[in-house]
Structure 1
Amino acid sequence: MSSPQIVWLRRDLRLADQPALYAAAHAGPVIPVFVLDDEAARSHAYGGASRWWLHHSLESLAKGLGSRHSQIVLRRGDAVEQLCEIARECGAGAVHAIRHYEPWWRQAQGKLDEALPDGCELCLHDGNYLLPPGAVTTGSGDPYKIYTPFSKAMLERFPPRDCLPEPETIHSPDKWPKSDSLSDWGLLPSKPDWSGGIADFWNVGEQAAHERLAEWADDVAQYDDERNLPSRDGSSRLSPHLHFGEISPAQVWHRLSGRRGQGWRTFEKELIWRDYAQNLICQFPDYPSKSYRDGYSGLWRNPNRGHIIQEELEAWQRGMTGYPIVDAGMRQLWQTGWMHNRVRMIAASFLVKHLLIDWTFGEQWFWDTLVDADYGNNGVNWQWISGTGVDSNMFVRIMAPLSQSEKFDAADYIREYVPELAEFGDEDIHDPPDHKRGKYPKKIIGHREARERALSAYNDAKQG
């Protein structure tokens, strides 16, 4: 029999349309390996919510492989060292992996290519995006920086590749390398276990991803109308499944393409945005932690430099700002590991414009609390809302959370996540009068005051 083939798993935890697994299964016995390498990612190691999801996703994939008489080898530590050790131990002929574009994974892929023992090669495959990042360029061959022309160029290249089936057979090696126990990794929270709301909100794994897609396929026609209405929750809720690779964007595209109406066309652009974010971090690897545009350093109030600013940051994190739509979103995030997209924009804008707190503090909070925390998407979205990105909203466009709440009919959403206001009628719930608020806090800052302060600080920063 041919030499064993290692499949290096990361954010591609599925059996179907998994090009690395498919290629390995056709080349010899398969050894799926997942290495928990927290040191490589540093500040962007898996956050708390992502670790919860990762545990259950690995557990689900292990069951799927078990039904095929296979298993996952779990290791913790430096990914390159662990993979080389396994390759030497089992005499692997190749390490197959889907390309990843986070800077720490790009670095690891380069190191692994040089470090593998003689006779073992690194085989990288595309499969986590609609088109391989870097494949779509301008007429001069340069990568796109702006979303709209990038999106048009993507559409001209469609359809994406065909999806691959599950391998018909997954042969096992004669001897399995040693493996950690998933439970020993401590990915699940304890003392206290804060994950009850997340567990109630989500089903995890490849099967759950496809069940969600099948369920939502009937609703995609209404996506353009309902995606901005948090009370109706017209979102696909596919984002964590896509992030962890329990389903591929190509599978989603082929399942939904051809549907008539603006709903599908709008959602298709959301899928393209994922590709756009990856293209940006390929060009600017530190984009999620460093502003692209200069001139903002004097604008932000740093929570590390004053207890009042720190208290305001914590009020935002806990959903205690006195703005119901913002607080509902932040509490939904803490309870479920997810936040409605329209509300994400409102809550993010509030942090960077009403509170004038550096967007990187928001990026880090979302990184820790979102189950779909994605290096590219999270950074690109925060730089878009803060006005600091290569393609972003202008800073002077300041969202008005009270009118946004009423415009997008968020009353029932607020009642669900801010129970102090559950008995308020639609006329008061978006902006409760101070004398009726009871235990619900007063506004941390008035909207007009915040807007004037933000514009003044922005003008000062530009002049300075």
Structure 2
Amino acid sequence: MTSLVWLRDDLRIADNPALHAAVARGEPVVVLFVLDEQSPGIRPLGSAARWWLHGSLTALAATLAARGGTLVLRRGPAAIVVPDVVHEAGASAVFWNRRYGGPEREVDAGIKARLRADGLEAMSFAASLLHEPWTVRTGAGTPYAVFTPFWNACLAAPPPRRPLPEPAEMPAPPPEVGSDDLDAWDLLPQRPDWAAGLRKRWSPGEPAAHDRLRTFLDEDSAGYDRARDEPAAEATSLLSPRLRWGELSPHQVWHAAIAAGAPATFLRELGWREFAWHTLFHAPDLATRNLRPEFDRFPWPEPSAAARDAWQRGSTGIALVDAGMRELWHTGFMHNRVRMVAASFLVKNLLVHWRHGETWFWDTLVDADPAANPFNWQWVAGSGADAAPYFRVFNPDLQRTKFDPDGAYVARWAAAPASLPPIVDLRATRQAALAAYDSMRRGMPGAAGRLQSA
């Protein structure tokens, strides 16, 4: 008999509970990855994410091959593909690590019910969060809506489990099971090939993820508190795409950080990621619907295509925003402080709905995941959990003076467009945004026309 491990956003062999359980059975193990962009509600990957996925799967296949295993690739609806592979492999047990989005949970529950009805063992495991979403609740039994008490509750809970070791080798050769050719999935850009900057910046895969974690903890974490808000300092961990694709688990990062004496502010960033996923679990439509329903009344004007395009291209004439948008386009990444500034500028100075920005980041960020991306956009917009008040409008010029005082970050990414005239007046558009927010609170109609002329 054979055990089947179905991987998704957990592209690693160390601290992989599903793989650990399968190997422990002592039977041949088939490791399967399904590219499912067809099941109802499943969000197709963005372009940068597809590039990363290709590299991460390539690295995973090599890691498994070195231990006598193989990676089987299939494409299509998981509810069809997984049972097909179970039949081809003669599997008697199927293991996977849990997902927390609404459509994903429905797919997984349906497959689990079908497998068990057929007399197979089907088990799922906690692997991608420090705490399961249903285990962290307020005293009233409701989900937390504010981060600080949420994180305090997490810290008061039993500590995250210790990471599981990686298997030294697979227990027996797996049966021959047909696999797709990864290149045939066309995950990499071809015409044009815009990924040169991504290749220069990143090396996807579990081995590179562990290298980056060690480098951060050994060399960079000591200055994290001081320099993490300075984009030119490059003092952040750069672990977000590793966690997004599960090349590292949060348990590995947590315990390594504790052992290295990493600052509490870094652990708190893991908590923010946790909060985003817990929020998505309780609000599956986070990417399409305001978490705060009062924002359904916000008087968004018809968006200016020219202004939105200038924001995407990094040619707004606002130096810090343009630098961030150009870093994003070239590397698939943007410093977190600059992300907040660029998002605030789009939503509050240009009065473009947060969903437009969320969609652009979804397509261009290598670390865009279904929870953090909409969660953080809603936080900036004021419509989300523990949101920044709408009247808190980041001033990009003041942010540049404070966090890029010598202009190194702007010079690196936006030296040429730094001389462009601003497409909007920051003071006037801030006032227009506040007027829109006030009209929403008062339920006043007709603000959109005034905003459009601002």
Structure-2-length-normalised TM-score: 0.93
Instruction: Give CA-to-partner distance per residue, 1:100-126, whole Å, 9 cap, x none.
Output: 112221111111012226221221011
Letter paired with 1:193? D
Task: State the match for 2:410 in structure 1.
Answer: 414
Identical columns (%): 43
Task: State the match for 1:26 in structure 2.
Answer: 24
Task: State the match for 1:278 in structure 2.
Answer: 277
Letter paired with 1:6? L
Q: 1:300 to 1:211 in 2, by over 3 A?
A: farther
Q: 1:459 to 1:76 in 2, by over 3 A?
A: same
How far did 1:376 drift?
Answer: 0.7
Distance 1:451 1:43 in 2: 36
Distance 2:102 2:130 in 1: 20
Alignment of 1:103-122 (within 5 A): 103-116=102-115, 118-122=118-122
The answer (yes or no) to whether the contact 1:322–1:444 under 8 Å persists in 2 is yes
Partner of 1:452: helix, strand, or coil? Answer: helix
Partner of 2:94: helix, strand, or coil? Answer: strand
Alignment of 1:198-209 (within 5 A): 198-209=198-209
Distance 1:378 1:359 in 2: 11
1:458 aligns with 2:428: no
Alignment of 1:127-138 (within 5 A): 127-138=127-138
Letter paired with 1:294? P
Distance 2:431 2:143 in 1: 38
Distance 1:174 1:361 in 2: 46
Deviates more, 1:214-223 or 1:173-182: 173-182
Instruction: Give CA-to-partner distance per residue, 1:372-423, whole Å, 9 cap, x none.
Output: 00111111111111000132000011111001101112511111111316xx
Partner of 1:69: helix, strand, or coil? Answer: coil
* Residue among 292, 301, 317 paired with 2:312: 317
Partner of 1:331: helix, strand, or coil? Answer: helix
Partner of 2:95: helix, strand, or coil? Answer: strand
Letter paired with 2:352? I
Partner of 2:295: helix, strand, or coil? Answer: coil
Distance 2:138 2:63 in 1: 42
Unaligned runs of 5+ in 2: 444-454
Alignment of 1:14-413 (within 5 A): 14-27=12-25, 28-40=27-39, 44-116=43-115, 118-172=118-172, 175-217=175-217, 218-260=219-261, 264-299=263-298, 301=300, 305=302, 309-409=304-404, 411-413=407-409
Partner of 1:124: helix, strand, or coil? Answer: strand
How far did 1:253 drift?
Answer: 1.1
Distance 1:67 1:173 in 2: 12
Distance 1:168 1:234 in 2: 34
Partner of 2:134: helix, strand, or coil? Answer: coil
Distance 2:209 2:322 in 1: 29
How far did 1:175 drift?
Answer: 2.3
Task: State the match for 2:447 in structure 1.
Answer: none
The answer (yes or no) to whether the contact 1:320–1:327 under 8 Å persists in 2 is yes
Task: State the match for 1:424 in structure 2.
Answer: none
How far did 1:90 drift?
Answer: 2.2
Partner of 2:151: helix, strand, or coil? Answer: helix
Instruction: Give CA-to-partner distance per residue, 1:212-235, whole Å, 9 cap, x none.
Output: 011110321211111100011111
Q: 1:257 to 1:370 in 2, by over 3 A?
A: same
Deviates more, 1:404-413 or 1:324-333: 404-413
Deviates more, 1:393-402 or 1:292-301: 292-301
How far did 1:40 drift?
Answer: 2.6
Distance 1:286 1:99 in 2: 18
Task: State the match for 1:6 in structure 2.
Answer: 4
Deviates more, 1:81-90 or 1:369-378: 81-90
Letter paired with 2:186? G
Letter paired with 2:121? E
Distance 1:77 1:23 in 2: 26
Q: 1:41 to 1:243 in 2, by over 3 A?
A: farther
Distance 1:444 1:41 in 2: 40
Letter paired with 2:247? E
Distance 1:41 1:99 in 2: 18
Letter paired with 2:125? H
Structure-1-length-normalised TM-score: 0.91
Letter paired with 1:234? A
Letter paired with 2:105? R
Distance 1:63 1:169 in 2: 13
How far did 1:300 drift?
Answer: 5.0
How far did 1:92 drift?
Answer: 1.1
Distance 1:45 1:104 in 2: 12
Letter paired with 1:245? G
Partner of 2:122: helix, strand, or coil? Answer: strand
Partner of 1:296: helix, strand, or coil? Answer: helix
Structure 1 vs Structure 2 CA RMSD: 1.6
Q: 1:338 to 1:41 in 2, by over 3 A?
A: farther
Distance 2:235 2:80 in 1: 44
Task: State the match for 1:425 in structure 2.
Answer: none
How far did 1:172 drift?
Answer: 4.2
Q: 1:455 to 1:249 in 2, by over 3 A?
A: same
Partner of 1:234: helix, strand, or coil? Answer: coil
Q: 1:169 to 1:259 in 2, by over 3 A?
A: closer
Distance 2:283 2:309 in 1: 30
Letter paired with 1:212? R
Q: 1:5 to 1:375 in 2, by over 3 A?
A: same
Q: 1:295 to 1:150 in 2, by over 3 A?
A: closer
Instruction: Give CA-to-partner distance per residue, 1:324-362, whole Å, 9 cap, x none.
Output: 100000010010000000000000000100001100111
